[in-house]
Amino acid sequence: MIPKTYQQWYRCITEECGIPLTQAFITSRLAVLQDPGHQETRRFVSLYGQSHLNSIVQWFKKVQEGVS
């Protein structure tokens, strides 16, 4: 399933995948996802589209505000 909302994405990451959303993890993911030249980012856009990438970046930023 491809998450369509913040709540779905958050549950997918934290519960289904068991990934702790630490500051280090969020920072590293944002560094990649906000680099349009990065191979992983280009692949993500080709698979899921720019709109979904924009959502993912915003969701990481949203959770980052609450992570210390």
Domain chopping of the chain, boundaries: 6-12+24-66
Longest Cα–Cα distance of the chain, Å, equals: 33
Q: Which pTM does this prediction carry?
A: 0.91
Res 60: pLDDT: 97
Nearest alpha-carbon partner for 6 in 64, 63, 65, 68: 63
Which residue pairs from 29-35 have beta carbons closer than 8 angstroms and sit at least 24 positions apart in sequence? 29/60, 30/57, 30/60, 30/61, 30/64, 33/57, 33/60
Q: List pLDDT tens digits, range 33-61.
A: 999 999 999 999 999 999 999 999 999 99
Please, are residues 55 and 62 in contact by the beta-carbon 8 Å criterion?
A: no
